[in-house]
């Protein structure tokens, strides 16, 4: 990446071998910009992109950060971000596996969106922190 700072961080999804990943969002999202447009076409495209972003239909989602003092893990994500990803790729009452639970953001997001979360975390420090965070949101860890 050189000196550029990425505007995204990948989320990984896994499925059972031989099955197709499920997606419940729509497929209007784009990730490639074609600049071979006239000024008028580019202005129209920019407006469409703003409208898509407002509707949450972009591959880069802009979300408000949680208060800095609430961040306890070096790669912690906002709960709202994980809730959005869950809505696109799972249904209410589905089971979600987070094999790197960290501070428990996925656990909290699953609770708020009525999904079961199976979380795995090897480091006792993060297990304790995820239990503490989830207890504050009435999640049984």
C-beta separation of 27 from 57 below 8 A: no
Residues of the chain with pLDDT under 70: 1-9, 11, 26-35, 56, 58-59, 139-141
Is 118 part of any domain? yes
76 and 101 share a domain? Answer: yes
| pTM passes above 0.85 | no
Same domain, 39 and 85: no
Same domain, 55 and 109: no
CATH number of the domain that residue 113 is part of:
3.40.50.150
For residue 1, the model assigns a pLDDT of: 47
Same-domain status, 73 and 132: yes
Is 16 a domain residue?
Answer: no
pLDDT score of 22: 78
The answer to the question of residue 88 being in a domain is yes
pLDDT of res. 44 = 87
Report the number of distinct structural domains present in the chain: 2
Range of the domain at 80: 68-136
Q: Are residues 107 and 56 in the same domain?
A: no
d(CA 115, CA 76): 20
At 15, give phi and psi (nearest 5°): -135, 170
Judgement on whether residues 72 and 130 belong to the same structural domain of the protein? yes
CA 103 from chain centre, in angstroms, equals: 15
Query: In this structure, are 56 and 90 located in the same domain?
Result: no
**Do residues 117 and 77 both lie within one domain?**
yes
**Domain for residue 17, yes or no?**
no
C-alpha 58/C-alpha 77 separation (Å) is 18
Nearest alpha-carbon partner for 89 in 26, 24, 30:
24
Within this chain, do residues 44 and 102 fall inside the same structural domain, yes or no? no
78: Cα separation from own chain's centroid? 8
């Amino acid at each position: 990446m050189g000196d550029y700072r990425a505007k995204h961080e990948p989320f990984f999804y896994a499925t059972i071998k031989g099955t197709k990943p499920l997606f419940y969002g729509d497929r209007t999202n784009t990730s490639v910009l074609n600049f071979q447009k006239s000024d008028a076409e580019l202005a129209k495209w920019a407006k469409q992109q703003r409208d898509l972003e407002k509707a949450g239909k972009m591959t880069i989602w802009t979300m408000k950060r949680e208060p800095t003092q609430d961040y306890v893990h070096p790669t912690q994500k906002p709960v709202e971000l994980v809730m959005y990803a869950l809505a696109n790729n799972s249904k209410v009452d589905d089971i979600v596996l987070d094999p790197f639970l960290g501070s428990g953001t996925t656990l909290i997001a699953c609770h708020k969106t009525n999904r079961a979360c199976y979380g795995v975390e090897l480091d006792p420090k993060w297990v304790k922190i995820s239990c503490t965070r989830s207890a504050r949101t009435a999640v049984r860890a």
